[in-house]
Amino acid sequence: MTIAVGLQDRPAAAPQEGVFVSDYKLVQNPSFTSAASALSSLVFAYAGTPAFFSIVSEMREPRHYTRSLIICQSVMTAVYISIGIVVYYYCGSYVSSPALGSAGPVMKKVAYGFALPALIVTTCLVTHVSTPPSPPQPATQECYCPEPFH
């Protein structure tokens, strides 16, 4: 998607006539609601982090948890920052929400074609990880064990 945003003439939401120049701004003076919305987007981008705590119990080597957490969060932050910078640089205030729609109609369909299955798999994983295990059931009958051969 980031490549398509860079290669296209203008974002899908931008005016279609005239020469397009991105109107990105490095520093703005947002209202309270705009700033709160931006900060909540940052917070919710990392909303899956609590799922890591139940993963540590299933790790073969739980002592590697801290290292895997740092690597995962670092890679995720690098991806978020790089995609965000590229898309905002080329689209400016015409970034659609979600940003997958900024790359034009064909690329939008391709991006959603990759994103929707990933979201479904993520939902299944989060449901699996967040569901508490059922308590063990007591044995209801004795097992039949035949006598060993002599």
Q: Is the pTM of this model over 0.85?
A: no
- Euclidean distance between CA atoms 4 and 87, whole angstroms: 10
Identify the band that residue 144 occupies on the pLDDT scale cut at 50, 70 and 90: low
Name the residue type at position 88. Y
- Euclidean distance between CA atoms 66 and 69, whole angstroms: 5
Cα Dmax for the chain: 95
pLDDT digits (tens, 9 = 90+) for 15-59: 788 888 888 887 888 899 988 988 888 888 877 777 777 778 778
State the average pLDDT for the chain: 80
pLDDT at 33: 92
- Euclidean distance between CA atoms 28 and 6, whole angstroms: 23
* Phi/psi of residue 68, nearest 5 degrees: -65, -35
pLDDT at 139: 60
